[in-house]
Amino acid sequence: MALKPPRVGVFGGAFDPPHDAHVSLVKAALAQLGLARLHILPTGDAWHKARGLSAGHHRLEMARLAFEGLPGAVVDDRELRRAGPTYTLDTLRELRGEQPAAELVLILGADQASSLPRWHGWQDILAMAVVAVAQRPGAGAFDPLALPGAPPGARFETLAITPMDVSATEIRAKAALGQDLSRLVPPAVARYIDQHHLYRTT
């Protein structure tokens, strides 16, 4: 009987900062998707984000604080080390090269899943990886059939999470005003933001 290939999860984000919805997504992915490992990748010079990001070393450290205690989660800094724009497709190709037998599972919130056709090499991404989608308040339901041009055989799964209306944008705005973040980010991340005066304008 053929063994099933190990499944390896891939979850990228600016993580500026990582917040409770990201943590909930990662926990759900580890619990539901049968992953051998989940790579969590802070983006480098993300091409789809108009605003400048906080320094990579801060985002990496906050990602470590948020996710590294979760068994199976690996914070992977390869996109931060890459020169130039970072593309998920390149990351998937690297992981495929390192783990040829693995089935790659790309984890996305519904907002990002619906914008896949704007991603560099999105059809190649869909040919290489299963996409697991979590709903996100305000994003509408994700409908794979609304992705004309997706390659035949593209595979989508649903990641069940309790919807959380949280965004890093909202958290940066609250931090700029010196407001309490304890209900929005893990305690260690809140302390890090405070200690390093991140997102403060004064």
Provide the binding-site residues for ligand ATP, judged by CB under 6 A: 13-16, 21-22, 25, 108-109, 111-112, 134, 136, 164, 166-169
Question: What's the min distance (Å) between Cβ of 13 and ligand ATP?
Answer: 3
User: What dihedral angle (degrees, nearest 10) is formed by the CA atoms of 60, 161, 165, 11?
Assistant: 20
**Beta carbons within 8 Å of 198's beta carbon, 6+ residues apart:** 17, 54, 58, 175, 192
Q: Return the SS3 of 151.
A: coil
For residue 94, the number of C-alpha atoms closer than 13 Å in the C-beta half-sphere is 14
Question: What's the min distance (Å) between Cβ of 127 and ligand ATP?
Answer: 20
Q: Which residue is nearest to ligand ATP (CB)?
A: 109
Question: What's the min distance (Å) between Cβ of 10 and ligand ATP?
Answer: 11
Complex with ligand ATP: residue 17 or 150, whichever CB lies closer = 17
Cis ω for the linkage preceding 17 (within 30 of 0): yes
Q: What whole-number distance in Å separates Cα of residue 66 and Cα of residue 34?
A: 21
Complex with ligand ATP: residue 62 or 128, whichever CB lies closer = 62
Question: What's the min distance (Å) between Cβ of 101 and ligand ATP?
Answer: 26
Complex with ligand ATP: residue 12 or 103, whichever CB lies closer = 12
| Residue with tokens 């996100």, as numbered in its chain | 136
| Residue 58: C-alpha distances to residues 17, 45, 112, 143 (Å) | 9, 14, 23, 35
Question: What's the min distance (Å) between Cβ of 191 and ligand ATP?
Answer: 20
